[in-house]
Amino acid sequence: MRASRWARWSWLTPLTAVLAAVLAAVVAWALWQLLAGYPLGVDLEIPLRAAERWLAGEDPYPPGAFDAPNGPGLPFLYPPFLLPILAPLTLLPRTVVAVGWFVALVAGGWFAGRRLGLGRGVAALALCWPPFAEGILGGNVQVLLFAAFATLMYRAGRQLDPADRERPAAVDGVLAAFVGALKVSQVHAWIYVLRRRPAAALVGLAPFALLALVTLPLVGIDTWVAWITQAGRSGDPTWPPVGAPLSIFVGQPIALVVSVLSIAAILVVPPRQAGAWIGIVTLVGAPSLHMFGLLFLLPAMRTVRLEVALVAAIFVATYDSVAIWVAILGVAWTLAAGYRWPVLWAPDRRTA
């Protein structure tokens, strides 16, 4: 019993202790800034207001939203089939909706950490890391999308492969389609399932295609055209809320090519550590990249050495665009180099 207790602290070395302390300090600062100035529940309020506009016969995708300051006036970027689903929620007290959604995001974030193999306490502490914390405080569905991705690709930290058919086709297919159906720039997981288990991918896509078809008479083709136009505007690197996508460094034309290549890259992603690679490719191809989008770096961070993961977590938590990309590229390099030098991977991943 005593030996097992000490084993829990086997990761603790002078270097990891220092890095963990720095990470705690940076995360505490980031949380203070979020609680002091971030518009809480903003990513829940934006779609609810869009549904209210739709119910009132107004445009749920007004172009002028791109000129709005940071807050609930920002553009609604989700597909139109969500509008009829969100409409009933606008009739409920906002507090009831907000509390229920907050609980769902906290539970989803913790569950995602557990799927990646984090201990109960570590998974809970991870919710303080800005990609989780901002998503939860802002009410962004990305936390649940990432939970679906983690469920698709991992079980207690063990890499899953849809080709192994451990689950029914509908389960893998719906999980993969859900990740990309609400945010089409994250279609990579579904492409991977299409590659490894085509029937599962098509079965999973069917409910969302049917939902779009059934709701089409309610929302109209014009609303879909407006959404496509709005989604195109959201990737403009000159738009302040675009976050930290690659386009702010290389320009939109080059970034668009990279986005296409990122989807093609899924066709050659090695099944070994596929979850880590899909997460990185998703970030590289993202036309907009907000803090909560960096949740997709976690599978790769879980794969590489703890020291590298802690440094990456620190860099991400600074909110600095350059530091964020240093973290992404540094983790990607370490992941790739680990195939030749396994010591660069976490001990439990070297034979995965």
Three-class secondary structure of residue 289 per DSSP: strand
Helix 306-317 × helix 14-37 angle, to 10°: 20
pLDDT in tens, 159-173: 999 999 889 999 999
Q: How far apart are CA 311 and CA 327, in angstroms?
A: 8
pLDDT in tens, 243-275: 999 999 999 999 999 999 999 999 999 998 999
Pair of tokens at residue 142: 């990305």
Task: Give pLDDT, residue 349.
Answer: 80
Provide the terminal-to-terminal Cα distance of the chain, rounded to the nearest Å.
Answer: 27
Pair of tokens at residue 35: 């609680």
pLDDT in tens, 74-132: 999 999 999 999 999 999 999 999 999 999 999 999 999 999 999 999 999 999 999 99
Helix 94-115 × helix 42-55 angle, to 10°: 130
Q: How far apart are CA 212 and CA 79, in angstroms?
A: 9
pLDDT in tens, 142-163: 999 999 999 999 999 999 999 9
* DSSP H or E run through 154: strand 154-155
Pair of tokens at residue 106: 């906290």
Scanning 56-187, the segments in alpha helix (DSSP H) are: 83-86, 94-115, 120-126, 130-138, 142-153, 169-181
Q: How far apart are CA 218 and CA 234, in angstroms?
A: 25
Cβ count within 10 A of residue 117: 19
